[in-house]
Structure 1
Amino acid sequence: MALTNSRTAARLARQAVRTTRGQPVAPSYRPASSSFSTSATRPSQLEDRPRWSYTPEKMKAPFSPHITKDPSRSVWKVNDNPQKLDEVLNNILGRDGERMLPDELKWLAVTHKSFDQGRRGFNDRLAFLGRQICVFECTQSIITSPPSGQEHEDLFADRRKPFEDETLRGVDNLTDRQPSDMLSPQKLAQFALDTGLTTVVRWKPRMPENIKGSGFDPIMSGAVYALIGAIALQQGGKIASRVVRERILKRLRT
């Protein structure tokens, strides 16, 4: 049965080759030679544009392999105004906050991989770095806060006497509170909404009619983490930790 099917497929393939032999290829399917050029020369107008504002020419395919059933779902407007981005950074980081990061790093921190198929860079690595800093600072904040006052029953009180020290009392706070409670995607997404960060994040929702279902909360929380990671990369870990304590954790507690 399988051998018969393979012979049939081979016979059909030979017939297709004989039928199409000698026929010219349709012009609409011919790849543009300029798209695959290896020349290092570029038009002068491209030299003046910042890297974040355009897709590299050599990363553009001559045709799209995707068939869009509903073209209206592929239309999504994102911010391209540097002044608006600076205003949001000032709102989050304080006065002159936009001066903490260079332009390319600013735009990289607010760019999700769903935007432009990731061809202009995206903030995954910055978000990973920023998340570690935020979790560390949040854990330290929980440990150094006053004890919760809740007494937990010691099931082995009759067998041993636990070691007690004043400097270790705060560790018990982790029994009642975890960094994941304060740094939940929902709370960070609300922080992004309150500070206006959602208006400058560059992303493309999978379902424009259902923003929440397209991953709004994790994408916006990732942008917050990426902003901290960018500050750590540019200004150092101490500055990034101070921003987490003074500009993020204080707002999340209120």
Structure 2
Amino acid sequence: MKAPYRASPPKNNHVRVLICNSDPKKLDEVYVRFLGRGGDKLLSEESKWLAVTAKSFDHGRRGFNDRLAFFGKRIVELQCSLGLLNARDSSKHHLKDHPSSHGREPFSHPATDAIEVLSGGARHWFTHHKQLSTIAQRNGFPEVVRWHPKYQDNLEASGSDLVYSQALMAVIGALALEQGSAVANRIAREKILFPLGLKEATNEKLEVPQR
């Protein structure tokens, strides 16, 4: 149940309240911008709206994207791991970070060398919500994501990066369910990981964003 009026006035009447998008055309434009031509046709109308709806919007009464985002995040993490494993000389930097105090050389073999990169911070850097949020903002997600920020005058303090990145992951999850894993994997690589620089991830140290 929902009362027709607020029980208490807003804390600051001069703060501009965030107006959530309700225009299907504007939503389609973001999907086309992110997925390319025909991107607005890859998902059903219900899924397109659900993917950009956070739990805070309308108290979750219209559904929210938590499960889709969880599924999509696993897909992006898998593609990130595979990309790092295939990156040229991806493990050399990590092997040099922990030299042996006895002068011993660690075992090295072309078939296993790249695995060392998965224990470093590279995978976390590519899949961190701060990095994913930059892709979401670049593609116009803030204009269509439906959520209710705690602080209307400070979206970043309200967790906007996490909300935007979650919507991005939810789109990947929805694509996997409705278009199959091949499409979702390709979009995860080409539209998220490659723009973040995964193709150039070799032996350079990546700074992990602070939480």
Normalised by the size of structure 2, how large is the TM-score?
0.82
- Aligned pairs for 1:79-90 (under 5 A) are 79-90=21-32
- Are 1:154 and 2:103 counterparts? no
Identity of aligned residues (%): 37
SS of the residue corresponding to residue 157 of structure 2 reads: helix
| 1:198 aligned residue (137, 142, 153) | 142
Q: What is the distance in 2 between the residues matched to 1:121 and 1:71?
A: 29
Aligned to 1:189: 133
| 2:166 aligned residue (218, 222, 226) | 222
Q: Assess if the C-alpha contact under 8 Å between 1:142 and 1:177 holds in 2.
A: no
Amino acid at match of 1:154: S
Aligned to 2:34: 92
SS of the residue corresponding to residue 219 of structure 1 reads: helix
SS of the residue corresponding to residue 208 of structure 1 reads: coil
Q: Deviations over 1:191-232 (max 9, x none)?
A: 111111111000111111111111111111111111111111
Aligned to 2:71: 129
Return the offset for 1:235.
1.1
Normalised by the size of structure 1, how large is the TM-score?
0.69
Aligned to 2:156: 212
Aligned to 2:55: 113
Q: Deviations over 1:107-166 (max 9, x none)?
A: 0000001111111110000000001111111111111101144352234665xx754331
Q: Assess if the C-alpha contact under 8 Å between 1:139 and 1:178 holds in 2.
A: no
Q: Assess if the C-alpha contact under 8 Å between 2:20 and 2:144 holds in 1.
A: yes
Q: What is the distance in 1 between the residues matched to 2:73 and 2:16?
A: 31
Aligned to 2:11: 70
Change (3 A) 1:198 1:74: closer
Aligned to 2:85: 143
Q: Name the Cα RMSD after superposition.
A: 2.3
Change (3 A) 1:88 1:108: same
Q: Deviations over 1:13-65 (max 9, x none)?
A: xxxxxxxxxxxxxxxxxxxxxxxxxxxxxxxxxxxxxxxxxxxxxxx445668
Q: Mind listing any 5+ residue stretches in structure 1 that lack a counterpart?
A: 1-59
Return 213-222 or 147-156, whichever deviates more: 147-156
Alignment length (residue pairs)? 193
Structure with bigger RCO (C-alpha 8 Å, 6+ apart): 2
Amino acid at match of 1:237: S
Q: Assess if the C-alpha contact under 8 Å between 1:78 and 1:203 holds in 2.
A: yes
Q: Mind listing any 5+ residue stretches in structure 2 that lack a counterpart?
A: 199-211
Change (3 A) 1:66 1:135: farther
Q: What is the distance in 2 between the residues matched to 1:168 and 1:127?
A: 31
Max Rg structure: 1
SS of the residue corresponding to residue 188 of structure 1 reads: helix
Q: Deviations over 1:169-202 (max 9, x none)?
A: 2112234443211122221111111111111000
